[in-house]
Amino acid sequence: MILPMIDVIFLLLLFFVVVTSFEASAKIAVDVPRPDESQARRGELAKQVVVNCEYQDPAAANSTGVRYRLGADPPEPLSVISSRLAAAKLAHPQLTVVVRGDRRLPNAKMRDVIRMVAETGIDTMNVAVRMDTEH
């Protein structure tokens, strides 16, 4: 009766030793070589970019009332996002921009983003909204 229990304990011990050694090897820092003339190609660029317009409490220090983000990137000024979108448009001519805005934002803040996207020459832009089903 005790023999199968010893086998199970041995297998569990072996499993944890192997898993621990894999985890330890994943934390080793490796300086990967960078080729001078690489033939590798970059992956497909995103065909859709999301510009997030987040509400920022106007009472907060140094607040403009809105924070702009390109995707999940840190907040950036609208001028920086504009230049990044223009560069993305050059790299991917069929680029689509989705503008997501917090419902607490004034329309003027959303209009600034929509105008900026239009000025970069991007042909397709969508504005994300959420439809309330409750009245």
pLDDT at 55: 83
- Residues (pLDDT < 70) of the chain are 1, 20-33, 38-46, 129-135
Neighbours of 120 (CB within 10 A): 19
- What architecture is domain 48-128? 2-Layer Sandwich (3.30)
Question: CA triplet 73, 79, 83: central angle to 5 degrees?
Answer: 75
Instruction: Give Cβ neighbours of residue 92 (< 8 Å, ≥ 6 apart).
Output: 45, 46, 47
pTM: predicted TM-score of the whole model, two decimal places = 0.60
Q: What per-residue confidence (pLDDT) applies to 29?
A: 62
Tokens of 72: 């999940």
Predicted confidence at residue 30, as pLDDT, reads 59
Which pLDDT belongs to residue 80?
Answer: 92
**DSSP 8-state class, residue 45:** P
Query: Domain ranges in the chain?
Result: 48-128
Q: Of 120, 121, 115, 105, which is closest to residue 52 (Cα–Cα)? A: 105
- Position 115 scores a pLDDT of 92
Please tell me the predicted confidence (pLDDT) of residue 17.
78
pLDDT in the model for residue 83: 92
Q: How far is CA 87 from CA 1, 13, 53, 95, in A?
A: 71, 54, 20, 11
